[in-house]
Structure 1
């Protein structure tokens, strides 16, 4: 289990590290849509497929990100955290996931050994971490906080809409809303007695 210090520290990947496995994707238009009550069902179906494909390799699967928060507008992309014993052992999960349509797109050794696989239809970002990654705790805490705090849910939605102009890659969009995300994290960490 990560320490409070590890969980509350805002970290970024090494900026000199090229995370793109097959080169950066072309810029895409970011579209925010109203909350879709089908998102939890879509997550359940996809999570079942991932568990079936990987068997005992799966330590945990969680619906995270904006589509996991009822009432929050979001990109129509399901974000999932997949916990495996060692993300560096890509041979234990990438080939099996490739067989059901996933493509390894991001590899970030400097950021908790994060890997991201993408499914095109339905759109899924499958984030892979090891069991000691503080990001697993952070993602769940952020999701649960937004579910219970409508004022921060609105604040976050406003930040997402404000981040759309400017175009570029989704990582550019993420960077433009980062200050708001970190403000919310700090608030929830203080409320949890972690800061």
Structure 2
């Protein structure tokens, strides 16, 4: 669960909290939205190299996703990374080696495409882990690529994010869920163009 594109499903607070392996952080003020930082792709590349060095051929796909992957788009300064492994339910095959290098498993969602999320040892990241046939892979890549190519939707998304950032949410997932309507509309345009 994060600023990466979700399936459009808004979950109850209890469902959201039950996915957390650790105590979910509470917001103490507005959601921080920064202007686009050209250093974000380099932070992704550094993290991707580290992940590849730890997991080797267990990495099926590793992509920069979320708002920091879209040049010109303001974002929470958190690098969203999509990691695809052969079996995201097999935590011993990737969580254990990542934890040995300072990563922390924070979210476990076996009922939502076996999604896992880890935080990094020294860079603020959300490492989203899926198995190869998860529909979230295509959703995240399609959304990223559409925003990279369509200024009008990128600007709409940024306005929405900035407007919602001051709404006084308790958890960051509430902010992400509040973007569902605009994300769904943008995804519909991307899917229609692809069809």
SS at 2:106 equivalent: strand
CA contact (8 A) 2:10 2:177 kept: no
Structure-2 change in CA distance of 1:13 and 1:176 (3 Å): closer
Q: Which runs of 5+ in 2 are unaligned?
A: 1-5
TM-score of the superposition, structure 2-length normalised? Answer: 0.89
Question: Is 1:35 aligned with 2:36?
Answer: yes
Give the match for residue 183 of structure 1.
185
Aligned residues: 185
SS at 2:76 equivalent: coil
CA contact (8 A) 1:85 1:130 kept: yes
Cα distance per residue 1:95-140 (max 9 Å; x no partner): 1111222110111111111100012531010000000011101101
Give the match for residue 81 of structure 1.
82
Cα distance in 2, alignment partners of residues 100 and 159 from structure 1: 36
Cα distance in 1, alignment partners of residues 109 and 135 from structure 2: 15
Give the match for residue 72 of structure 1.
73
Give the match for residue 131 of structure 1.
132
CA contact (8 A) 1:26 1:169 kept: yes
Cα distance per residue 1:16-52 (max 9 Å; x no partner): 6410112322335421001011111110000000000
Structure-2 change in CA distance of 1:171 and 1:66 (3 Å): same
Give the match for residue 152 of structure 2.
151
Write the mapping of 1:97-116 to structure 2, written as runs, cut at 5 A. Answer: 97-116=98-117
Give the match for residue 19 of structure 2.
19
CA contact (8 A) 2:81 2:128 kept: yes
Cα distance in 1, alignment partners of residues 28 and 42 from structure 2: 26
CA contact (8 A) 1:64 1:139 kept: yes
Structure-2 change in CA distance of 1:37 and 1:11 (3 Å): closer
SS at 2:77 equivalent: coil
Cα distance in 1, alignment partners of residues 33 and 11 from structure 2: 29
Q: Which runs of 5+ in 1 are unaligned?
A: 1-8
Structure-2 change in CA distance of 1:13 and 1:59 (3 Å): farther
RMSD of aligned Cα (Å): 1.7
SS at 2:127 equivalent: strand
